[in-house]
Amino acid sequence: MIYRPYGKTGKHVSVIGMGGMRFRKEDYATDDWSRAIAVVHRAHELGVNYFDTAPGYCDDTSEKIFGEAFKSMSRDSFYVSTKCGLWNARTAKEARKMIDQSLRRLGVDHIDFYNMWSVKTLEDYREYLKKGGVLEGAREAQKEGLISHICFTTHLRGEEIAQVANDGIFEGVTLGYNAINFAYRQKGIDACHEANLGIVTMNPLGGGIIPAHPEYFSFLKQGDDSLAVSALKFILSQNKATLAIPGFSTVEEVEENVLAADNLKEAPEELLDELAKHLTSELNSLCTTCAYCDSCPQDIPIPQLLDSYNMLILSNGDEKQMFTRMKNHWGVDPSWATKCIACGKCERLCTQKLPIIKRLAEISGYLGRQTPAR
Ligand code: SF4
Ligand code: SF4
């Protein structure tokens, strides 16, 4: 396993961490959690020392599973990351309750990385920072030694991530970063790297889109590596990302993913340029979330809606998947699509030359036919 410094914290983390959102239901639905715990232990055995969880994951059992697994792991051999969302707490007092709950469930006396969870907009960011808000609660707990580092997780676009990174409040960021959206996130990654934040990349397989569509993503495949391992290597070989945290369900998945960290070499700029070219030519019907179009006079969040529309293409027309992505991943209201006045500005700017107006009209059409996920 390769270890990299996590920003300025002085901690060294494994380049593969474990995301704790994919334990299998059958492995935690009864009192017998031994298979889920075995996944954590196998990851630890193979050198993984960064474990990421959150209240709510896996029907609210993920933190508790880790708590059971940690009982037989020496506390100085791993780091744990967990989170508090605005839907969990709005005040310092409520945040403190969440922190105490996580400490109790995890069975630890301190949390290494505590995240302001899912900053989707700059309004969310300001809400976390407000006087008497969640950040204040986390800082008080930090003074008492209950939290080591305060970080954030985000779906903001690159420029906005840069703004938050440059404010210097957080020591690390967790963000979705993969072969589909890397162009959209690159500015943010660059700014976080510049500001010396730890950079945790989640969703390295694009929410399963990449392995589920091998024909689309075959250009990522390197040698004998599976597509999943190649996609992970793509992220990790860029030295700006500190680590990737795929979600593990089975011991076999742990073993396969850890392989990605073997023989990891830094990707030459030319290879990344080459891959970027594939993303803008071969995948020509997909939005790459590059955000070049993102200056709509109607303030329509075009990259977010068009990224969600990708799901419609990749799932052969299952609009539920598209609406789920709008809601759960981006937090955008699909009715934005109805506000398009067809001025054409975005289509002139689109790097993929996508028929944005037509796609927005299609989304609006679906809204007319059914009640979208909200
Ligand atoms: S065509 Fe529609 S989505 Fe595009 S910039 Fe104009 S109003 Fe916005
Ligand atoms: S619609 Fe076009 S310009 Fe806008 S984010 Fe997608 S690919 Fe980029």
Give the domain CATH number at 93. Answer: 3.20.20.100
Using alpha carbons only, how large is the chain's radius of gyration in Å? 20
Distance 303 CA to ligand 2 centre (A): 6
The 10 Å CB-count burial string (b at 16+, else e) for 61-75 is: bbbbbbbbbbeebee
Distance 250 CA to ligand 2 centre (A): 36
Residue 245's φ and ψ, nearest 5 degrees, are -125, 80
- Residue 178 has what pLDDT? 78
pLDDT > 80? residue 185: no
**For a pocket test of ligand 2, which of 184, 304, 351 has the largest count of ligand atoms closer than 8 A to its C-beta?**
351
In a domain? residue 218: yes
In a domain? residue 121: yes
In a domain? residue 293: no
Question: Do residue 315 and residue 258 come from a single domain?
Answer: no
- Residue 195 has what pLDDT? 93
Distance 294 CA to ligand 1 centre (A): 9
Distance 298 CA to ligand 1 centre (A): 7
Residue that the structure tokens 């107006």 belong to: 357
Counting from 1 in the atom list of ligand 1, the atom nearest the Cα of 293 is: 5
In a domain? residue 231: yes
Coil vs helix vs strand at 175: strand
Mean pLDDT value across residues 355-373:
82
- Residue 281 has what pLDDT? 54
Tokens of 198: 């730890």
Question: Do residue 53 and residue 202 come from a single domain?
Answer: yes
In a domain? residue 31: yes
* Lowest-pLDDT choice from 36-45, 151-160, 355-364: 151-160
The residue whose C-alpha atom lies closest to atom 2 belonging to ligand 2 is 350
Question: Would you say the CB of residue 238 lies under 6 angstroms from ligand 2?
Answer: no
Pairing of strands 111-119, 147-154: parallel
Counting from 1 in the atom list of ligand 1, the atom nearest the Cα of 339 is: 7
The residue whose C-alpha atom lies closest to atom 8 belonging to ligand 2 is 290
Mean pLDDT value across residues 206-232:
77
pLDDT > 60? residue 320: yes
Coil vs helix vs strand at 181: coil
Mean pLDDT value across residues 335-339:
96
**For a pocket test of ligand 1, which of 287, 302, 309, 350 has the largest count of ligand atoms closer than 8 A to its C-beta?**
302
Counting from 1 in the atom list of ligand 1, the atom nearest the Cα of 342 is: 1
Question: Do residue 324 and residue 217 come from a single domain?
Answer: no
Question: Do residue 177 and residue 242 come from a single domain?
Answer: yes
The residue whose C-alpha atom lies closest to atom 4 belonging to ligand 2 is 293
Mean pLDDT value across residues 302-321:
89
In a domain? residue 86: yes
Tokens of 356: 């944005």
Distance 294 CA to ligand 2 centre (A): 8
Mean pLDDT value across residues 92-101:
98
Structural domain range at position 208: 3-272
Question: Do residue 78 and residue 142 come from a single domain?
Answer: yes
Give the pLDDT confidence of 268-307 residue by residue, as tens digits.
667 767 776 666 555 557 787 777 788 999 999 999 999 8
- Residue 323 has what pLDDT? 95
Compute CA distances 271 → 120, 263, 284, 335, whole Å: 31, 17, 19, 39
Distance 351 CA to ligand 1 centre (A): 15
Question: Do residue 239 and residue 306 come from a single domain?
Answer: no
- Residue 202 has what pLDDT? 86
Question: Do residue 224 and residue 345 come from a single domain?
Answer: no
Counting from 1 in the atom list of ligand 2, the atom nearest the Cα of 183 is: 8
What confidence tier does 266 reach under pLDDT thresholds 50, 70, 90? low
Closest C-alpha among 363, 288, 297, 357 to residue 333? 363
In a domain? residue 130: yes
Distance 50 CA to ligand 1 centre (A): 42
Q: How far apart are CA 296 and CA 209, in angstroms?
A: 28
Closest C-alpha among 68, 4, 1 to residue 262? 1
Question: Do residue 74 and residue 12 come from a single domain?
Answer: yes
pLDDT > 70? residue 369: no
Total number of domains constituting the chain? 2
* Lowest-pLDDT choice from 12-16, 166-170, 264-268: 264-268
- Residue 257 has what pLDDT? 83
pTM for the structure as a whole: 0.78
Ligand lying closest to the C-alpha of residue 180: 2
Q: What is the mean pLDDT of the chain?
A: 88
Q: How far apart are CA 220 and CA 229, in angstroms?
A: 10
- Residue 316 has what pLDDT? 77
The residue whose C-alpha atom lies closest to atom 7 belonging to ligand 2 is 287
In a domain? residue 8: yes
Question: Would you say the CB of residue 222 lies under 6 angstroms from ligand 2?
Answer: no
Question: Do residue 79 and residue 196 come from a single domain?
Answer: yes
Top-ranked range on mean pLDDT: pick from 56-60, 217-221, 270-274: 56-60
- Residue 235 has what pLDDT? 80
Q: How far apart are CA 324 and CA 321, in angstroms?
A: 5
Residue 9's φ and ψ, nearest 5 degrees, are -75, -15
- Residue 93 has what pLDDT? 97
Question: Do residue 247 and residue 323 come from a single domain?
Answer: no
Question: Would you say the CB of residue 280 lies under 6 angstroms from ligand 2?
Answer: no
Mean pLDDT value across residues 44-48:
96
Distance 351 CA to ligand 2 centre (A): 6
- Residue 227 has what pLDDT? 82
Question: Do residue 61 and residue 145 come from a single domain?
Answer: yes
What confidence tier does 373 reach under pLDDT thresholds 50, 70, 90? very low
pLDDT > 50? residue 372: no
For the sheet with 111-119, list strands across it: 18-19, 50-52, 79-84, 111-119, 147-154, 172-176, 198-202, 243-245
Domain boundary among 254, 272, 290: 272
Question: Do residue 170 and residue 37 come from a single domain?
Answer: yes
**CA-CA-CA-CA dihedral for 119, 289, 216, 225, to nearest 10:** -50
**For a pocket test of ligand 2, which of 182, 278, 287 has the largest count of ligand atoms closer than 8 A to its C-beta?**
287
What confidence tier does 374 reach under pLDDT thresholds 50, 70, 90? very low
Mean pLDDT value across residues 17-39:
95
- Residue 100 has what pLDDT? 98
Top-ranked range on mean pLDDT: pick from 164-173, 180-189, 270-279, 342-351: 164-173
pLDDT > 60? residue 111: yes
What confidence tier does 263 reach under pLDDT thresholds 50, 70, 90? low
